Amino acid sequence: MPYELLLLADPSMDMLHEYLNQSDVFTAKMNAMTVGVLVLYQLDAETLEIKNIAVSPEFQGQGIGRFLIENAISMATFEQFNTVCIRTANSSIGQLCLYQKMGFELSEIEKNFFTSAYPEPIYENGIQAKHRLVLQRRVGG
Ligand code: ACO
Instruction: Answer whether residue 140 shows pLDDT above 90.
Output: no
Instruction: Answer whether residue 100 shows pLDDT above 90.
Output: yes
Cα(125) to centroid of ligand 1, in Å? Answer: 14
Instruction: Answer whether residue 11 shows pLDDT above 90.
Output: no
Give residue-wise pLDDT tens across range 43-77.
999 999 999 999 999 999 999 999 999 999 999 99
Mapped onto helix, strand or coil, the DSSP state of residue 124 is strand
Point out the ligand 1 atom lying closest to the alpha carbon of residue 97. Answer: 3
Q: What is the pLDDT of residue 118?
A: 85
Could you tell me the pLDDT band of residue 141, with boundaries at 50, 70 and 90? low
Give residue-wise pLDDT tens across range 20-29.
999 999 999 9
Distances in whole angstroms, Cα of residue 132 to Cα of each of 87, 103, 139: 6, 18, 22
| Rounded Cα distance, 25 and 139, in Å | 20
52 lines ligand 1 (CB under 6 A): yes
Q: What is the pLDDT of residue 124?
A: 94
CA angle, 18 then 80 then 46, to 5°: 50
Give residue-wise pLDDT tens across range 101-131.
999 999 999 999 999 988 889 999 999 999 9
Cα(6) to centroid of ligand 1, in Å? Answer: 14
89 lines ligand 1 (CB under 6 A): no
